[in-house]
Amino acid sequence: QLGGSRPIHSLHIGNDGAAFVEVLVGSSAGGDFQVLLPSAALMSPSESRAGAEPRRVRLFGPGSLVKGPAQGTWDRLRVVLSQPYCQSRPYGLSFIRVFAAPEED
Q: Encode pLDDT of 5-34 as tens digits.
A: 888 999 999 999 999 999 999 998 888 999
Predicted TM-score (pTM) of this structure: 0.90
pLDDT in tens, the chain (105 residues): 888 888 899 999 999 999 999 999 999 888 899 999 999 999 999 999 998 888 999 999 999 999 999 989 999 999 999 999 998 999 999 999 999 877 764
Spell out the domain ranges in the chain: 6-99
pLDDT at position 5: 85
**How far apart are the C-alpha atoms of 17 and 67, rounded to whole Å?**
28
C-alpha distance from residue 85 to each of 5, 29, 40, 44 (Å): 36, 37, 15, 9
Residue 3's contacts (CB-CB under 8 Å, 6 or more residues apart) are 75
Annotation: CATH topology of 6-99 = Jelly Rolls (2.60.120)
